[in-house]
Structure 1
Amino acid sequence: MLAPGDGLFYRGVNLRHGRMQPNPNRWSAHLFLFWVDAEGEFKDLAFDRMTFNESVDFPPPR
């Protein structure tokens, strides 16, 4: 179990992950980092670019 302020790195494509129960907090912040292994299966996708048709703007938590 993680405590407030803890961090965790894992390979999401190799591990089943998610919350076992709903988030008990009023809000939470998440940081997602994505990388490509220079010698891995997806090395040809390094520095690829995605285009988005619209921006998403979420209101700050109350």
Structure 2
Amino acid sequence: MKVEITDEAVILDGERKFPCREVSLPEGVKTEKATANFKNGVLEVTVDAPQTNKNRRTIE
């Protein structure tokens, strides 16, 4: 498994059914502090993302 990270996405390249997958990242993610851990067949990628205020309202 090869994991690459850019300012816009995490790119996963492996040997399974889907050999390459790209996951978009939100703006402001600090990719230089990213970590990846592959254990028991599960890949966990962790990145620091800024807190965002999501506009949410109830429509009645």
Q: TM-score range by the shorter chain?
A: under 0.3
- Higher strand share goes to which structure? 2
Q: Which has the larger radius of gyration?
A: 1
Select the structure with the greater relative contact order (CA < 8 A; seq sep ≥ 6). Answer: 2
